[in-house]
Chain A
Amino acid sequence: MIVIPDFSQDFFALFGLRRAYRIDAAQLDQAYHEMQGRVHPDRHAHLPETERRLSMQWATQVNEAYRTLKKPLLRAHYLLRLAGAETDHENNTAMSPAFLMEQMEWREAVAEARAAGEHHELEKLMQRLERHGGEILAEVERSLDAKKDYEMAADAVRRLMFIEKLEHEIQDALEALESQD
């Protein structure tokens, strides 16, 4: 007998976690594996078509829930949504001029390092950016978990989205340099 997960609850409840930004990653992994162990299509491959289709749907939802909680930025987004505070990232592009300035500087540094073929420099930029992202994530955690200040959290999440985009740019640049080797 399969115990079907209750998909009407939020993702935190689904995995038996407290609804907060700070989560126990090992506990999430374990809950995810345990749940996929029950619903995954491989467990139902010998059953009739209907069961197999249902199992695919369950497994799909469990994967989606896991991915949302696993990635810090998605998790923060999701918490804001649950709290009714959208980040409104499609429309709200009003970032502080200081932040935008900083972004431009980062971007220029990446472009320069790429043009000069500075593999090492790109890696250093990546490390700095990751540290910077980590600091903002700490801010997110403080404003979500301690202060419950969703406006502040949403602002930090918007900044993180810029950072993530930059990280992708650095990765692309690194791969481009490597394939020239």
Chain B
Amino acid sequence: MRMTNNGIGLASRAIGVALSLMLAVSACGGAGEDEGSGGGKAGAPGNTAGFDGKTIKLGVLTPLSGTVAVIGQPLTAGNEVWFDAVNAKGGIGGKYKVELVQEDTQYKTDLAVQKYNKIKGDVVAFTQILGTPPTLAVLPQLRTDKILAAPASLDALWVREDNLLPVGGPYQIQAINAMDYYLTDGGGSKDDVICTMIQDDVYGEAGQQGIDFAAEKYGFKVANTQKFKVGTENYAGQIGALAGAKCKMVFLVATPSDAAKIWGTAAQARFAPQWIGQSPTYTGALAQSAVAPYMEKSVWIMADGTEWGDDSVPGMKTMADDMAKYAPDQKPDFYFAFGYNQGRAMTAVLEKAVENGDLSREGILKASTEIGTVSFGGLTGDYQYGPAAERNPPRSTSVFAVDPAKPVGLKKLKYLIESDAAKEFEFKKADL
């Protein structure tokens, strides 16, 4: 009995000690409000988190291991090559070199938040956050920390977010332009049996939204929609349903390994509608696979920019040269181009911030509203930046056919279509 009393006494004394200790250290213990002040107006930007007067550091949160690394690797290589080229020309404002701080998220939200916290104090902004779930998980903190980040996905959700710096035409735009092309130059009619096949996630829903919008504008009906889960092994059911519905055109939102299985199953079932695929549906490896002959006949791909190695587009030539110079082992890849474009948008922001003489977090956010329209040298449509509420993403998309002889296996059918319907699509601020 005595012992027990003693125990409680000791425990409460211990808590007392702990409390007083805590109060003692609390004088220096708070981490609530320490915010580096940016720097002077005009003139050289003052030192701040991620900028030591010489080097500007940018964060990259991307899956570099795990199954999504197949996208994260080339995208990050695109970031690297862009900034290598910038540094070779002297850097931002002609004098500040850029350095990337890369962290692996494995495409997991909790890891993304941890890694964000790990490097947020060392970088001025994030030039890449890959994936919708990781971006959404980090977004609340971006807002409180007042940090700018460039998401590496084409979600429409990003357009109206102050803390995000998207590039490229969102998926909805791709889908609308796809229908525009199909109904005009593509030789289709609005009375055709038009179907969709979409991945059951955010990315798939974005494509479906675009098609539904187009359906209203062009007066066609979506006759059949098939959904599938990422990584499904067998698509006989979906293909059977689409064939049963006698679809003449199918809009496909998928990722390459699923797309290969889907087209493989369709080829085996001798079902050959006109397929139109959203850009991430495709990867160069598909043009070398057994499905290539079928794809040549029946598949178009919607994507930004032009075909690889098309020197008539100035941006493509520069990118190809930069890639040959700074990453000779890199294979041509549209994710690479995306990362490269992200670099260009972020550079525009940094240039502006340096011009303003303020590389602090607020300074960069402010700069991101002041850069106006950024041109991507024809690699993707011009993006009109500004305050998030007034941003206008590119409304253009190119159409490609599959041609294994070309570098990435894509041959352009029509360069940067900008349909009226796509121009009318409104981006609303989502409740995130």
Please say whether chains A and B are actual partners in one complex: no
Q: Tell me the A residues contacting B by CB distance below 8 Å.
A: none
